């Protein structure tokens, strides 16, 4: 009969993994997938709205042909949706669908950090100016500026084979 | 780089699929709400296009009803404001009135027609399904009228019919207590029978309005008054018949409208659709009345279905 106070070594197989900053290529692919998803699905309701304003139903085509005031409304709305998309997925699931497909993730303790981390996605001044800083930091340190600022790096885990 | 041992029996706190679906559903709802709200507040000035497309649909009256869920009337004041806006906007090169209406109030219709006639930009009246009575009067103000072969056009006449309840009141012992100063003050009231003199006066009013309508159509269409009077029986004509009688200039639809405009303007045509603005209050009001109607209708149907049906036996 087994003693509940004694520890047993059951020799279960254990997996070793390496965790490192996510490679740039994986980040780019993940970002492209997420942006495509946002443009095709989440911003679709705006195409109905813009059909009445212009002869175009394409979101991007509309952006370049409509009145500047209307373009500002469009950019602000799409920016909000985009920031919420990235923030909600990263906070609740640790990764967006695009990140999931390329196996990179992050760990964000608070929702406010998730928002700050993705604020550069708002395509209006002054937030869009952050994009330049983000890209420069990313190419130099493999982390974005806001990731370092909030201490929420995007990581890639790679399994190691046991010898 | 650091290594970390991973325990394969670690449990997940949340089902990731449910989290993903919840987030996507929430964002889609937010996006729909934002797009809907944006459409309420965006002004016609934000739109692109070099040809103003102004809709005249439903009953024409001065006040109109701004029901965004089911547009059934045109506010003459809105149409006139849109015409003036198109007239003043340098980006607009021509104006198209898209008409699908059985007419309405005579003064409202005449006012729209006069405003159309005053514009110095090319104007086209495009009659889709129906352009009758006051709506046709509006169309006559345009430089060019295009209707489909089987559009319903015309009905050049005046109607003043109404329901009279004098016998109903009499049967139910209800008396109409007539108190007027001015013998024709209550002329046309449904609570009493119209006298011969009142009928004569009403007839005179209708004939005068009819004559005014005929004169206006004759002037706008460059026809003789006799020609118009001969067809101003109040009847409707198909588009092809109206073309033979010179009530319309061309048969066709959107393609013909654009081709005609391209020939005049020598540039490609991009419609800028003018819409009737709806305040948030009006939207909420119409939504609540629509919901109330649905609830009442459902309750009524339920009550009627539950009533025992009469049974006949021999």
Please give the Cα distance from B97 to B105 (Å, whole number). 18
Q: What pLDDT sits at residue A157?
A: 81
User: Does residue B77 surpass a pLDDT of 70?
Assistant: yes
What's the pLDDT tens digit per position in A36-84? 999 888 888 877 666 655 555 565 666 666 666 777 777 888 899 999 9
Mean pLDDT of chain B: 84
Mean pLDDT of chain A: 82
Mean pLDDT is lowest, of A85-89, A128-132, B238-242, for A128-132
Q: What pLDDT sits at residue B221?
A: 94
CB pairs < 8 Å spanning A and B:
103
Residue of B nearest to A92 (CA): B19
Contact B49 A67 (CB under 8 A): no
User: Does residue A123 surpass a pLDDT of 90?
Assistant: no
Residue A67 sits at the chain B interface (C-beta within 8 Å): yes
Identify the residue whose tokens are 């993705």.
Answer: A118
User: Considering chain B, what percentage of its residues have pLDDT values greater than 90?
Assistant: 62
Overall pTM surpassing 0.90 (yes/no): no
Contact A17 B24 (CB under 8 A): no
Tell me how far CA of residue B259 lies from CA of A160, B51, B95, B263, in angstroms: 70, 13, 14, 6
User: Does residue B70 surpass a pLDDT of 70?
Assistant: no
Cβ-nearest to A15 among B6, B27, B30: B6
- Stronger pLDDT, B77 or A55, i.e. the higher one: B77
CA dihedral B76, B79, B83, B89 (to 10 degrees): 140
B303: CB partners within 8 A, 6+ apart: none
What's the pLDDT tens digit per position in B265-283? 999 998 888 876 555 555 5
Q: What is the separation, in whole angstroms, between the first and last Cα of chain B?
A: 97
Token pair for A139: 């190419």
Residue A88 sits at the chain B interface (C-beta within 8 Å): yes
Q: What pLDDT sits at residue B11?
A: 42
- Stronger pLDDT, A125 or B226, i.e. the higher one: B226
What's the pLDDT tens digit per position in B33-44? 888 777 766 666
Identify the residue whose tokens are 């005179």.
Answer: B204
CA B68-B70-B74 angle, 5° bins? 75
ipTM, two decimals, is 0.79
Residue A75 sits at the chain B interface (C-beta within 8 Å): no
**Which residues in chain B are contacts of A48 at CB distance < 8 A?**
35
Q: What pLDDT sits at residue B311?
A: 45
Residue A109 sits at the chain B interface (C-beta within 8 Å): no
Residue B149 sits at the chain A interface (C-beta within 8 Å): no
Cβ-nearest to A43 among B20, B31, B47: B31
What's the pLDDT tens digit per position in B150-208? 999 999 999 888 899 999 999 999 999 999 999 999 998 999 999 999 999 999 999 99
Please give the Cα distance from B139 to B133 (Å, whole number). 10
Q: What pLDDT sits at residue B314?
A: 34
DSSP-derived secondary structure letter, A34:
H
A-facing residues of B in 21-50 (CB < 8 A) are 23-24, 26-28, 30-32, 34-36, 38-39, 42, 45-49
């Amino acid at each position: 009969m087994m003693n509940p106070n004694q520890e047993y070594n059951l020799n279960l197989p254990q997996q070793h993994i390496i965790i490192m900053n996510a490679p740039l290529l994986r980040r780019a692919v993940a970002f492209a997938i997420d942006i495509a998803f946002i443009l095709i699905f989440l911003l679709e309701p705006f195409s109905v709205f813009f059909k009445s304003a212009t002869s175009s139903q394409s979101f991007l085509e509309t952006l370049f042909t409509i009145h500047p005031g209307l373009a500002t409304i469009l950019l602000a709305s799409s920016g909000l949706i985009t920031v919420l998309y990235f923030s909600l997925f990263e906070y609740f699931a640790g990764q967006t669908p695009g990140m999931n497909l390329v196996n990179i993730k992050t760990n964000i303790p608070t929702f406010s950090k998730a928002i700050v981390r993705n604020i550069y996605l708002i395509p209006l001044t002054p937030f869009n100016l952050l994009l330049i800083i983000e890209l420069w930091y990313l190419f130099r340190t493999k982390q974005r500026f806001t990731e370092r600022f909030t201490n929420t790096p995007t990581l890639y885990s790679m399994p190691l084979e046991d010898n | 780089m650091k290594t970390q041992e991973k325990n394969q029996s670690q449990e997940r706190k949340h089902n990731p699929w449910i989290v993903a679906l919840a987030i996507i559903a929430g964002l889609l709802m937010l996006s729909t709400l934002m797009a809907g709200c944006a459409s309420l507040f965006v002004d016609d000035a934000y739109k692109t296009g070099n040809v103003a497309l102004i809709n005249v649909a439903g009953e024409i009256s001065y006040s109109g009803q701004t029901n965004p869920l089911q547009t059934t009337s045109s506010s003459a004041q809105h149409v006139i404001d849109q015409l003036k806006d198109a007239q003043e906007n340098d980006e607009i090169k021509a104006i198209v009135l898209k008409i699908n209406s059985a007419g309405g109030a005579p003064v409202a219709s005449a006012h729209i027609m006069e405003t159309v006639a005053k514009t110095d930009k090319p104007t086209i009246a495009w009659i889709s399904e129906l352009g009758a009575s006051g709506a046709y009067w509006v169309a006559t103000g345009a430089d060019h009228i295009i209707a489909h072969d089987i559009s319903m056009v015309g009905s050049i006449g005046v109607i003043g019919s109404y329901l009279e309840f004098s016998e109903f009141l009499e049967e139910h012992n209800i008396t109409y207590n007539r108190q007027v100063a001015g013998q024709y003050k209550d002329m046309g009231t449904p609570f009493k029978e119209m006298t011969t003199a009142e009928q004569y006066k009403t007839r005179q009013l209708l004939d005068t309005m009819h004559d005014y309508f005929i004169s206006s159509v004759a002037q706008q269409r460059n026809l003789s008054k006799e020609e118009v009077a001969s067809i101003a029986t109040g009847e409707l004509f198909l588009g092809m018949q109206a073309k033979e009688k010179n009530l319309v200039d061309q048969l066709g639809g959107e393609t013909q409208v654009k081709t005609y405009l391209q020939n005049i303007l020598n540039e490609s045509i991009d419609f800028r659709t003018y819409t009737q603005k709806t305040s948030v209050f009006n939207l909420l009001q119409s939504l609540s009345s629509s919901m109330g109607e649905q609830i009442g209708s459902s309750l009524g149907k339920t009550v009627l279905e539950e009533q025992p049906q009469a049974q006949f036996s021999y």
